Chains A and B, each alone.
Chain A
Amino acid sequence: MTQSHRTTEPEHRKPTTATAMRLIVPLQGVVQGRGGLILGSLIPCALFYFLQFYLKRHRSPNPPSPSASSSNLAGLPRTSSRSTLSSRGSLGPVRISARGSSIAKPDDSPYYIGWNKFRDDPYDKINNPNGIIQLGLAENTLCLDLIEKWVSENLSDSIMGRDGDDLSISGITTYQPFDGMMELKVAMAGFMSQVLGQAVSFDPSQIVLTAGATPAVEILCFCLADHGNALLVPSPYYPGFDRDIRFRTGVELIPVHCRSTDNFAFSITALDQAFNQARKRGVKVRGILICNPANPVGNIIPRETLYELLDFAREKNIHVISDEIYGGSIFGNEEFVSMAEILEAEEVDKDRVHIIYGLSKDLSLPGFRTGVIYSYNESVLAAAKKLTRFCSISAPTQRLLISMLSDTKFIQEYLETNKRRIKKLYDSFVAGLKQLGIRCSESSAGLYCWADMSGLIPSYSEKGELELWDKLLNIAKINVTPGSACHCIEPGWFRCCFTSLTHEDIPLVIERIQKVAETCK
């Protein structure tokens, strides 16, 4: 409001003039011989103190990247500017922001470098048989044929509507509620329940829909933590979190290292240690982010651990974010327990638990951008809803999904077939790696396996691991994700996504790895 701007002006001016007077008067006294030694030494100290205080209050928060200024100067063209200097005597034209500059820099993580290389030289059985095979993107194409069939029979109706339908074509272009159409929330609640084998029922009014799980995670971070706060994340973790969480929120991720001896399961002791270490550094931990089923390892968090985690969160008064995006991609025999199930049983402290979900993995629809925040906390839901202004799902896609997710018979068939096909391919792939002496960790879920190639790395270090990664990418022409990109503390582990391969591709992949493996022995 214009008025409030006017009223803040004098307030900003006041402290400077008042402070100035308070300094000048006693100073005058000192100069004129009154006040003596005491004031003479006190006043310069006070001046110094005031200056520091004033600067601290009026300085904007530190930008995230220290190298921003140097890269700024290099990036822009020089001109013989004849423009007048601004009244503040600027050093040049304004640049882009420090955070923008840091994000604009080319990616240096192997996770992204591998993707870029693949894009330039993608494998194609017929057109590019020597291209790079993509094992670095967790994408599932195994059951797209089922979805394609459903779409060819139903898409038109879902968008155009049938006569007498509530969802007819008129109304598809108008503004919708930003957090998603109620019909889609209802259908999504039903789908999430089906994914869990009806073990839990989800309440549509606790759902906030977003354009993908990426904004869902970011929104939750904006709601639960301030700039400079931190989240504990068991590592190895999904490399995308480094972007999704740190890009714009200013929230720090503190890895809590897990080890192969525990099959990379996290322990409460380790969480506690990390929490205390953060506190010593003066960093406030606002929550724990877990991925269950885990990425990149593919293990499932046991029920007892979930209870212990909730106890820990309660004790420290922090939040728990449970990213359950792979909840429908479970092929092993282990029981998957969603946080939602635990909370349905227990009556306490639901306010600190938030679940992330999406259709990119379980339903193979990453292009359609559909993510879910499921929370029990009314204030979080209210704030998150407002933030969906920036990331709503496109209306035609919502229509398509309402129709698809409501077809429970199709969904049931899809979920069962999907699990079977993932398991079959997993067994085949893991067996192939075993032949090369490469062992995979025990996993029961996900679209990838977590392979131990420490026997092939030249030195037991991150450097050695990256050398092997480089060989695999450039010689064997397969893009896999090295453990260091996932913040794994033990070198030599690699995430290999296999669900975009066919059975025929597997021998080729194994053969290529073998070529490199032989040179490493």
Chain B
Amino acid sequence: MLSRIASCDSHGQDSSYFLGWEAYENNPYDQLHNPSGIIQMGLAENQLSFDLLESWLASNQEAVELKRNGESLFRELALFQDYHGFPDAKKELVKLMARIRGNKVKFDPNKLVLTAGSTAANETLMFCLADPGDAFLLPTPYYPGFDRDLKWRPGVEIVPIHCSSSNGFRITISALENAYQQAQTLNLKVKGVLITNPSNPLGTAMTHQELNHLINFSKSKRIHIVSDEIYSGTVFDSPSSSFISIMEAVMDRNIDESDDLWSRIHIVYSLSKDFSMPGFRVGMIYSNNERVVSAATKMSSFGLVSSQTQYLLSRMLSDKKFTCNYMKENRKRLRKRKEMLVSGLKVAGIRCLKSNAGLFCWVDMRHLLVSNTFEAEKELWKKIIFEVGLNISPGSSCHCNEPGWFRICFANITEETLQVALQRIKVFAQSCNPQMLLLQRRSIIGKWISKLSSSSSYDQEPDR
């Protein structure tokens, strides 16, 4: 009686990523009422700076009441359903995007399409760029939600670009080529590459080198580049130097409207991570391609942003003092919290990939695996959920090539809760100790052997 889409499991909601959430929901940690419950560290939500937003709302009654200079805009907003978006909101959003990129790039509000969240933005872009059965290449590990956003309704296949820990999970030329070849073998037409920059789950901003590889690759294969820059505002070490938007990278190569590639560059952004407003459902597509903007604009009627919210945003973001202060303070808090997590894990003998962005760390627990397999990773993960009481995301749910990596979020819990979590991890790691030493020895030898035998023709960065 139901359609294939309703009956299949392409929504991915049955994957391990979501099963952990279920476990958490059945037994959530609460400092007072359930101190032995499961702590949620699998949700990439930024709760560190809500107070700043809420105080702005509390002291800007006029905006909340949908008034401007004493006059009510209610009537106009109640009737405003134009899918071209509220002009003031779009103007402020492109200014914000430029500011986050150190004003090195300017964005045109007419190329911006508003959608109900970046989930809708990614899905809409897929409808615009690929037909059912086409493929997009994604570097692994990647955000598990992409399986749903690309495959479910748009019917777009994902072919992974395998990245490995040997070079800090950076994208290499051969990885790109291999992915393309694999798509050919599967007889899939590749329409583009989808990158998340800064990366989820890695928490790293892409380097100049990586972006150049990507640009060269996309030029040679003549495909699209979709850059999901949803974490661009969370880069917490001096951002203007370490975060490079695809737009900036393209400009640095002197690629402009006259170049073919220009109209194949698309950016996805949202206020859910940078601005801690996931509940507001504000996402956007920025595209240099007129026809994509036209199609996406029409499709946005399937998920428009409430005019009330658009107005509120236009007021909030036009408050430059607030916005700059918010971004600065937010980054500071994120950095502090990340350092707390990293040092706490270090005490437990657990290392993280060196990161400079995001709301999470990519944690190396390979030494805690009984064997270098995904089964062992799953066993470890189950232990961590049910015995240690932490919901973290296993690397396999992010399609990581190597078992033993986990994503741990740090921005959605209080400092006290984080301390509790770190204590639990310390105790757990110590209990694995004898096994740990043995495996560490084995893994060091293993690494040594693999380093000797692997080719060093592509760029290598030191293992962070």
Residues of A bordering B, CB below 8 Å: 1-3, 5, 8-9, 12-13, 58, 60-61, 63, 75-77, 79, 81, 83-84, 86-88, 90, 92-94, 96-101, 103-104, 139, 141, 144, 147-148, 151-152, 155-156, 159-160, 169-170, 172-176, 211-212, 214-215, 218, 222-227, 229, 243-244, 247-248, 286, 317, 319, 351-352, 360, 364-369, 377, 379-380, 383, 386-387, 389-397, 400
Residues of A within 8 A of B74 (CB): 147-148, 151-152
Are the C-beta atoms of B291 and A364 separated by less than 8 Å? no
Whole-angstrom distance between the alpha carbons of A104 and B61 in the complex? 40
**Which one of A88, A94, A218 lies within 8 Å of B184 (CB-CB)?**
A88
B37 within 8 A of A: no
**Which one of A94, A380, A391 lies within 8 Å of B222 (CB-CB)?**
A94
- Tell me whether A394 and B308 are in contact in the complex, defined as CB-CB below 8 angstroms, given that A156-B65, A169-B58 are known contacts: yes
Are the C-beta atoms of B2 and A211 separated by less than 8 Å? no
Are the C-beta atoms of A79 and B258 separated by less than 8 Å? yes
CB distance from A157 to the nearest CB of B (A): 10
Residues of B within 8 A of A12 (CB): 185-187
Residues of B within 8 A of A366 (CB): 78-81
Are the C-beta atoms of B11 and A386 separated by less than 8 Å? yes
Pull 27 A–B residue pairs with CB atoms less than 8 Å apart, ordered by A: A2-B162, A2-B396, A60-B134, A61-B132, A76-B260, A77-B258, A86-B220, A96-B128, A96-B295, A97-B134, A103-B294, A104-B292, A151-B74, A156-B64, A169-B54, A169-B58, A170-B54, A173-B53, A174-B50, A214-B302, A226-B5, A229-B3, A244-B301, A368-B306, A390-B119, A390-B303, A395-B281
Which B residues between 98 and 147 are near A, CB-CB below 8 angstroms? 116-117, 119-120, 123, 127-134, 140
B91 within 8 A of A: no
Are the C-beta atoms of A83 and B219 separated by less than 8 Å? yes
B382 within 8 A of A: no
CB distance from B302 to the nearest CB of A (A): 5
B72 within 8 A of A: yes
Given contacts A2-B160, A141-B79, A160-B57, 19 further A-B contacts (CB under 8 A): A9-B185, A12-B186, A12-B187, A60-B132, A81-B222, A83-B222, A86-B221, A96-B291, A103-B294, A103-B298, A174-B45, A367-B80, A367-B81, A367-B308, A369-B116, A369-B306, A389-B117, A393-B306, A394-B280
**Which one of B78, B224, B257, B281 lies within 8 Å of A94 (CB-CB)?**
B224
Interface 1/0s, chain B 309-333, versus A by CB < 8 A?
A: 1001000000000000000000000
Residues of B within 8 A of A8 (CB): 186
Which B residues between 179 and 200 are near A, CB-CB below 8 angstroms? 182, 184-187, 189-192
- Tell me whether A104 and B13 are in contact in the complex, defined as CB-CB below 8 angstroms, given that A215-B303, A391-B303 are known contacts: no
CB distance from B314 to the nearest CB of A (A): 13
Residues of A within 8 A of B140 (CB): 2
Are the C-beta atoms of B75 and A9 separated by less than 8 Å? no
**Which one of A79, A155, A224 lies within 8 Å of B259 (CB-CB)?**
A79
- Tell me whether A94 and B119 are in contact in the complex, defined as CB-CB below 8 angstroms, given that A5-B160, A390-B302, A396-B280 are known contacts: no
Residues of A within 8 A of B401 (CB): 2
CB distance from A405 to the nearest CB of B (A): 15
Interface 1/0s, chain B 367-400, versus A by CB < 8 A?
A: 0000000100000000000000000000010011
Residues of A within 8 A of B349 (CB): none
Q: Give 9 closest A-B pairs by Cβ, nearest first.
A: A60-B133, A395-B279, A367-B307, A93-B222, A100-B128, A383-B6, A391-B303, A394-B306, A104-B295
Residues of A within 8 A of B130 (CB): 97
B305 within 8 A of A: yes
Are the C-beta atoms of B131 and A99 separated by less than 8 Å? yes
**Which one of B78, B80, B182, B192 lies within 8 Å of A364 (CB-CB)?**
B78
CB distance from B212 to the nearest CB of A (A): 15
Are the C-beta atoms of A380 and B278 separated by less than 8 Å? no
Residues of B within 8 A of A99 (CB): 127-128, 131
B304 within 8 A of A: yes
Whole-angstrom distance between the alpha carbons of A1 and B302 in the complex? 30
**Which one of B64, B75, B219 lies within 8 Å of A160 (CB-CB)?**
B64
Whole-angstrom distance between the alpha carbons of A79 and B61 in the complex? 53
Residues of A within 8 A of B222 (CB): 81, 83, 86, 90, 92-94
Are the C-beta atoms of A368 and B308 separated by less than 8 Å? yes
CB distance from A403 to the nearest CB of B (A): 13
**Which one of A97, A174, A387, A390 lies within 8 Å of B128 (CB-CB)?**
A97
Interface size counted on chain B using CB atoms at 8 A:
100
CB distance from A80 to the nearest CB of B (A): 10
Residues of A within 8 A of B7 (CB): 379, 383
Are the C-beta atoms of A79 and B260 separated by less than 8 Å? yes
Are the C-beta atoms of B116 and A390 separated by less than 8 Å? yes
CB distance from A382 to the nearest CB of B (A): 8
Whole-angstrom distance between the alpha carbons of A75 and B162 in the complex? 34
Residues of B within 8 A of A393 (CB): 281, 306
CB distance from B8 to the nearest CB of A (A): 10
Residues of A within 8 A of B242 (CB): none
Residues of B bordering A, CB below 8 Å: 1-7, 11, 13, 15, 43, 45, 47, 50, 53-54, 57-58, 61, 64-66, 72, 74-75, 77-81, 116-117, 119-120, 123, 127-134, 140, 148, 153, 159-160, 162, 182, 184-187, 189-192, 219-224, 257-260, 263-264, 276-282, 289-292, 294-295, 298-299, 301-309, 312, 374, 396, 399-401
Residues of B within 8 A of A351 (CB): 1
Are the C-beta atoms of A222 and B299 separated by less than 8 Å? no
Are the C-beta atoms of B292 and A100 separated by less than 8 Å? yes
Are the C-beta atoms of B1 and A222 separated by less than 8 Å? no
Closest to B159 in A: A5
Whole-angstrom distance between the alpha carbons of A139 and B80 in the complex? 11
Whole-angstrom distance between the alpha carbons of A161 and B281 in the complex? 20
Residues of A within 8 A of B279 (CB): 172-176, 394-395
Whole-angstrom distance between the alpha carbons of A428 and B281 in the complex? 42
Closest to B289 in A: A96
Residues of A within 8 A of B374 (CB): 3
CB distance from A359 to the nearest CB of B (A): 10
Residues of A within 8 A of B292 (CB): 96, 100, 104
- Tell me whether A367 and B78 are in contact in the complex, defined as CB-CB below 8 angstroms, given that A13-B185, A96-B291, A176-B279 are known contacts: yes
Are the C-beta atoms of A58 and B58 separated by less than 8 Å? no
Whole-angstrom distance between the alpha carbons of A9 and B159 in the complex? 11
**Which one of B11, B258, B302, B308 lies within 8 Å of A391 (CB-CB)?**
B302
Are the C-beta atoms of A87 and B184 separated by less than 8 Å? yes
Among B54, B66, B81, B264, find the residue whose CB has the most chain A CB atoms closer than 10 A. B81
Are the C-beta atoms of A103 and B75 separated by less than 8 Å? no
Closest to A151 in B: B74
CB distance from B360 to the nearest CB of A (A): 15
Are the C-beta atoms of A173 and B133 separated by less than 8 Å? no
Closest to A58 in B: B187
Among A13, A76, A87, A173, find the residue whose CB has the most chain B CB atoms closer than 10 A. A173
- Tell me whether A215 and B185 are in contact in the complex, defined as CB-CB below 8 angstroms, given that A173-B53, A400-B308 are known contacts: no
Are the C-beta atoms of B301 and A214 separated by less than 8 Å? yes
Residues of B within 8 A of A212 (CB): 81, 301, 304
Are the C-beta atoms of B260 and A396 separated by less than 8 Å? no
Whole-angstrom distance between the alpha carbons of A226 and B220 in the complex? 36
CB distance from B223 to the nearest CB of A (A): 5
Whole-angstrom distance between the alpha carbons of A159 and B67 in the complex? 14
Residues of B within 8 A of A94 (CB): 189-192, 222-224, 264
Are the C-beta atoms of A77 and B65 separated by less than 8 Å? no
Closest to A90 in B: B222
Are the C-beta atoms of B186 and A9 separated by less than 8 Å? yes
Residues of A within 8 A of B65 (CB): 151-152, 155-156
CB distance from A165 to the nearest CB of B (A): 14
Are the C-beta atoms of B400 and A175 separated by less than 8 Å? no
- Tell me whether A77 and B295 are in contact in the complex, defined as CB-CB below 8 angstroms, given that A144-B75, A148-B74, A380-B6 are known contacts: no
Residues of B within 8 A of A170 (CB): 50, 54
Are the C-beta atoms of A395 and B280 separated by less than 8 Å? yes
**Which one of A61, A380, A396 lies within 8 Å of B133 (CB-CB)?**
A61
CB distance from B123 to the nearest CB of A (A): 6
CB distance from A225 to the nearest CB of B (A): 5
